[in-house]
């Protein structure tokens, strides 16, 4: 999912004068039985500044542990949404260079 594109479409359609419908091209990744998209995400604790932006996504895999974000791997299906919002690049797919 391209988060910036989705936000743009929602803003455009909610400000339109006439009624409109937004149709997502794929079902929610959290639906039961959906296969993982890719490797789960991990948090680079050195890079995380605890800004909380990733927590605001509402993904159940992301929580706060002390003063850092954390991702519970078993709940993460690798959708990549959180990677698009972390300005510090503290979130990475497993095996792509995190501690
Ligand atoms: S968005 Fe990035 S820097 Fe901010 S809390 Fe999440 S992982 Fe940490
Ligand atoms: S990639 Fe990020 S947003 Fe997607 S399920 Fe995993 S932790 Fe949640």
Q: What number does the ligand 1 atom closest to the CA of 43 have? A: 7
Q: Please tell me if the CB atom of residue 86 comes closer than 6 angstroms to any atom of ligand 1.
A: yes
Domain range holding 67?
Answer: 3-93
Q: State pLDDT tens for residues 4-20.
A: 898 899 999 999 999 99
Domain membership of residue 99 (yes or no) is no
Question: What are the CA-CA distances from residue 22 to residues 11, 14, 30 (Å)?
Answer: 11, 10, 19
CATH (domain of 7): 3.30.70.20
Q: Which of 82, 86, 95 to mutate to test the pocket of ligand 2 (most atoms within 8 A of CB)?
A: 82
Q: What is the pLDDT of residues 75-92, one digit of tens each?
A: 999 999 999 999 999 999
Distance 54 CA to ligand 1 centre (A): 6
Is residue 31 over pLDDT 90?
no
Q: Which helix (H) or strand (E) holds 68?
A: strand 68-71
Establish whether residue 90 lines the binding site of ligand 2, counting it when its CB lies within 6 angstroms of any ligand atom: no
Exposed/middle/buried for residue 10 (C-beta within 10 Å: 0-12, 13-18, 19+): exposed
Percent of the chain with pLDDT over 70: 94
Please give the pLDDT value at position 99. Answer: 45
- Number of structural domains found in the chain: 1
């Amino acid at each position: 999912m391209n988060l910036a594109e989705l936000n743009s479409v929602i803003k455009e359609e909610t400000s339109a004068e006439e009624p409109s419908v937004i149709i997502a091209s794929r079902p929610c990744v959290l639906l039961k039985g959906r296969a993982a998209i890719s490797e789960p995400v991990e948090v680079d604790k050195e890079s995380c500044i605890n800004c909380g932006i990733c927590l605001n996504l509402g993904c159940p895999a992301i929580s706060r542990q002390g003063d850092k974000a954390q991702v519970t791997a078993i709940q993460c299906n690798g959708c990549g949404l959180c990677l698009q919002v972390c300005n510090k690049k503290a979130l990475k797919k497993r095996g792509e260079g995190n501690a």
